[in-house]
Amino acid sequence: MKSEFLLEVKNLHVSIGDKEILKGINLKIKRGQTHAIFGPNGSGKTTFINALMGFSGYRVKGKIIFRGEDITHLPINERAERGMGISFQRPPAIKGVQLQQLITAANKKDGKLIAKYANALNLMDFLKRDINVGFSGGEIKRAELLQLIIQDPDMIFLDEPESGVDLENIALIGEYTNHLLGRRVESGQEKTIKEQYREKRKSGLIITHTGHILDYIEADSGHILMDGKFACEANPREMLHTLKECGFNECYRCFRKEEDHDKK
């Protein structure tokens, strides 16, 4: 039977060198669901999605199940072929490779789509430029989004898609992130965003520091990553509201109390 979960993460431990960064993460994402991750700087958010995508340099224990298949030790290209895609927090600049060349290599669909979405994301003038070389923060994030839209993955990892983006462009990033996740941008509002997501059955995992992207994205669930573990899961908007009022210090207090309780 086909699993209702697109992604399942079971007791994931990730180390870099001798340092254990993630200490037992469990997560299940249903088809069509989007989850958000919050957490203090350095808590391991980027490490988590990079390890899920299969980047080298991480020692991984536990299990990553994608569409019911154990992919824990598959290389990154095979995960991409199976339908995983990522937008980086800080992608590298690549001299000598034009943005258009990369996108054309990833384009499995109609060639006209590149022009359509490059135009929509105000990136037509960037196609012939070397990837990210001299791009501003916002231009980098729009270029990441364009690459993902063309790749069209089913499991979408976004690492701080709004960081460095000015307010005007956040709306654009939000609109096309919605599109990426399956919402038809041009359609009327006769269906709720959630219903449209479910039809496309694409799933998202979004790391957000500011939470601004959640003004545009209908996220189903929020998690707080602390000390290498998920401290709690709740409605992401309520979570963000509480975080804005109390900061992560209150989460630490609550998390430690729960840990102490579990030990007893």
In this complex, which beta carbon is closest to Mg ion, that of residue 161 or of residue 236?
161
Contacts of 256 (CB under 8 A, 6+ apart): none
34: phi then psi, degrees, rounded to nearest 5: -120, 130
Residue 83, judged by CB atoms within 10 A of its CB (0-12, 13-18, 19+), counts as middle
HEC string of 182-208 equals CCCCCCCCCCCHHHHHHHHCCEEEEEC
Binding mask 171-210 for Mg ion (x = CB under 5 A): ----------------------------------------
CA angle 58, 60, 62 (to 5 degrees): 160
CB 231 → ligand ADP: shortest distance, Å?
Answer: 13
User: Interacting stretch for ligand ADP, rule CB under 6 A, among 44-52, 115-123, 187-195, 247-255?
Assistant: 44-52
In this complex, which beta carbon is closest to ligand ADP, that of residue 43 or of residue 178?
43
- Of residues 171-190, those binding ligand ADP (CB under 6 A): none
Binding test (CB under 6 A) with ligand ADP, winner from 1, 18, 42, 249: 42
- Residue 72 near residue 256, CB atoms below 8 Å: no
Binding test (CB under 5 A) with Mg ion, winner from 34, 46, 196, 221: 46
Of 191, 236, 201, which is closest to residue 217 (Cα–Cα)? 236
Of 21, 9, 73, which is closest to residue 47 (Cα–Cα)? 21
Binding mask 54-73 for ligand ADP (x = CB under 6 A): ---x----------------
Binding test (CB under 6 A) with ligand ADP, winner from 7, 33, 38, 46: 46
In this complex, which beta carbon is closest to ligand ADP, that of residue 46 or of residue 169?
46
Binding test (CB under 6 A) with ligand ADP, winner from 6, 7, 27, 39: 39
In this complex, which beta carbon is closest to ligand ADP, that of residue 163 or of residue 178?
163
In this complex, which beta carbon is closest to ligand ADP, that of residue 57 or of residue 92?
57
CB 177 → Mg ion: shortest distance, Å?
Answer: 17
26: phi then psi, degrees, rounded to nearest 5: -120, 135
- Residue 204 near residue 156, CB atoms below 8 Å: yes
CA angle 211, 67, 103 (to 5 degrees): 65
Binding test (CB under 6 A) with ligand ADP, winner from 41, 77, 187, 249: 41
- Of residues 5-24, those binding ligand ADP (CB under 6 A): 16, 21
Return the number of other C-beta atoms located less than 10 Å from residue 9's C-beta. Answer: 23
Q: How many H-runs (helices) and E-runs (strands) does the chain carry? A: 8, 12
User: Interacting stretch for ligand ADP, rule CB under 6 A, among 45-53, 104-112, 166-174, 252-260?
Assistant: 45-53
- Which letter does DSSP use for residue 3 in this model? -
List contacts with ligand ADP (CB under 6 A).
Answer: 16, 21, 39, 41-47, 57
